[in-house]
Structure 1
Amino acid sequence: MKFSLKAVVLTAFAASTALAAPVVEKRDANSDRIAACFVGLLFTGSWPGSCKAAISVDLGLIRSIAINQMTMDFTTANPWAPTMASNSVVATMLSIPGITLPIDSVRQHVIIIDNGVQLGAFDTPWSAASVKGGTMKTAFTTSTLNVFPDAKTAFSSFVGSLSTKASHPVTLKGAVDAKLNLGIFGHLTIPGIGFKAVVPIKGLGGLKNQKYVFAIEIYTGPNNKTSMTSILNINNPSQLSLTLGDVNFDSTHNGAHIGISTVKGLKLVPGDNQVLSYTFLDMSLDAARAFSDGLYTSDQVMGIGGYASSSTNPALNAGLAAVKSSVTVPMNFQGLHMSQAPYKAWSLKISTARVATATATFQSPYYGIPYEFTASNPPGFINQVQAGPGISSDATDKQIWKFKDGLKFKVSGTGTTTVSFEVDIPKTTSALQAKAFTDMLNYSKANGGTFPVLIDWQPTIIVNGDGTERLVDWTSLGNSLGYINLTIGDDFANIITK
Structure 2
Amino acid sequence: IKGIPLDVKTSLAGLQGLSNIKFLAYVDNQITMDPPRINSRTSVNIYNPSQLTLNIGDLALEAGRDYDPQNWVGNALVKNLRLVPGDNNVITVLSVDSGSNPAAQQFLLDLNVMDILLKMWASSTATSNPALNAGLSTLRSSVLLPMFLMSVTPPAFSDVWNIKVLPTTVNDGLVEISTVFNNPFLVDMSVEGVAAQDEGSFTVYPSTADLYVGSSVYSNFLFPDDFSYALKATESKTVTFKMKLRRDIIKVERVPQVVTDWISDAADGSLAMEINWYPRIRLTGQDTFTFPLWAYSPSVFYPDHKLILKTGSDFPLIKDWFYKEFGLDGAPVAIPTPSPPPVEPVPPPSPSAVPSPSPSPSPSPSSPPSPSSPPSPATPSPSPVVSPPAVAPAA
2:57 corresponds in structure 1 to 245
- Alignment partner of 1:352: what SS? helix
Q: 1:296 aligns with which of 95, 101, 112?
A: 112
TM-score (normalised: structure 2): 0.63
1:386 corresponds in structure 2 to 210
Distance 1:220 1:324, change over 3 A: same
**What is the identity, as a one-letter code, of the residue corresponding to 1:253?**
R
Q: Quick check: which one's strand share is greater?
A: 1
Tell whether 2:89 aligns with 1:274. Answer: yes
**What is the identity, as a one-letter code, of the residue corresponding to 1:474?**
W
Distance 1:337 1:305, change over 3 A: same
2:173 corresponds in structure 1 to 355
Quick one: distance in 1 between partners of 2:160 and 2:285?
23
2:41 corresponds in structure 1 to 229
Q: 1:209 aligns with which of 17, 20, 44?
A: 20
**What is the identity, as a one-letter code, of the residue corresponding to 1:486?**
L
Q: Between the two proteins, what is the percent identity of the paired residues?
A: 20
Quick one: distance in 2 between partners of 1:257 and 1:372?
36
Please tell me whether the aligned partners of residues 377 and 405 of structure 1 are also in contact (alpha carbons under 8 angstroms). no
Q: Quick check: which one's helix share is greater?
A: 1
- Alignment partner of 2:33: what SS? coil
Count of equivalent residues: 302
1:455 corresponds in structure 2 to 275
2:244 corresponds in structure 1 to 422
Quick one: distance in 2 between partners of 1:344 and 1:370?
22
Distance 1:432 1:465, change over 3 A: farther
Mapping 1:288-327, distance limit 5 Å = 288-327=104-143
Quick one: distance in 2 between partners of 1:467 and 1:217?
14
Please tell me whether the aligned partners of residues 80 and 285 of structure 2 are also in contact (alpha carbons under 8 angstroms). no
Residue deviations 1:423-471 (CA, integer Å, cap 9, x gap): 5354425898876654543444323xx4342212233333226331322
2:383 corresponds in structure 1 to none
- Offset at residue 358 of structure 1 (A): 5.5
Please tell me whether the aligned partners of residues 342 and 474 of structure 1 are also in contact (alpha carbons under 8 angstroms). no
- Offset at residue 312 of structure 1 (A): 1.6
Quick one: distance in 1 between partners of 2:102 and 2:173?
54
Distance 1:221 1:371, change over 3 A: farther
- Alignment partner of 1:309: what SS? coil
Tell whether 2:14 aligns with 1:83. Answer: no
Please tell me whether the aligned partners of residues 377 and 459 of structure 1 are also in contact (alpha carbons under 8 angstroms). no
Quick one: distance in 1 between partners of 2:52 and 2:4?
18
Residue deviations 1:458-486 (CA, integer Å, cap 9, x gap): 33333226331322131267434434443
Tell whether 2:329 aligns with 1:329. Answer: no
Q: 1:469 aligns with which of 283, 289, 294?
A: 289
Quick one: distance in 2 between partners of 1:81 and 1:229?
27
Quick one: distance in 1 between partners of 2:227 and 2:33?
28
**What is the identity, as a one-letter code, of the residue corresponding to 1:304?**
M
Larger deviation: 456-465 or 275-284? 456-465
Tell whether 2:302 aligns with 1:486. Answer: no
Please tell me whether the aligned partners of residues 348 and 486 of structure 1 are also in contact (alpha carbons under 8 angstroms). no
Q: 1:263 aligns with which of 78, 83, 96?
A: 78
- Alignment partner of 1:454: what SS? strand
Q: 1:218 aligns with which of 13, 19, 29?
A: 29
- Offset at residue 407 of structure 1 (A): 3.3
Please tell me whether the aligned partners of residues 273 and 307 of structure 2 are also in contact (alpha carbons under 8 angstroms). yes
Quick one: distance in 1 between partners of 2:173 and 2:307?
22
Quick one: distance in 2 between partners of 1:82 and 1:334?
35
Q: Which one has a bigger Cα radius of gyration? A: 2
Quick one: distance in 1 between partners of 2:193 and 2:230?
12
Quick one: distance in 1 between partners of 2:39 and 2:322?
42
Quick one: distance in 1 between partners of 2:160 and 2:135?
44
Residue deviations 1:359-416 (CA, integer Å, cap 9, x gap): 446564432412342434535545432336xxx44x2x21233646733535253586
Distance 1:421 1:79, change over 3 A: farther
Quick one: distance in 1 between partners of 2:3 and 2:159?
42
Please tell me whether the aligned partners of residues 73 and 96 of structure 2 are also in contact (alpha carbons under 8 angstroms). yes
**What is the identity, as a one-letter code, of the residue corresponding to 2:309?**
L
Residue deviations 1:278-297 (CA, integer Å, cap 9, x gap): 22222222222222222222
Please tell me whether the aligned partners of residues 154 and 182 of structure 2 are also in contact (alpha carbons under 8 angstroms). no
Tell whether 2:267 aligns with 1:445. Answer: yes
Quick one: distance in 2 between partners of 1:331 and 1:225?
19
Quick one: distance in 1 between partners of 2:228 and 2:299?
22
Quick one: distance in 2 between partners of 1:311 and 1:230?
20
- Offset at residue 229 of structure 1 (A): 1.3
Computed over aligned residues only, the root mean square deviation of the Cα atoms, in angstroms, reads 3.6
Please tell me whether the aligned partners of residues 111 and 147 of structure 2 are also in contact (alpha carbons under 8 angstroms). yes
TM-score (normalised: structure 1): 0.51
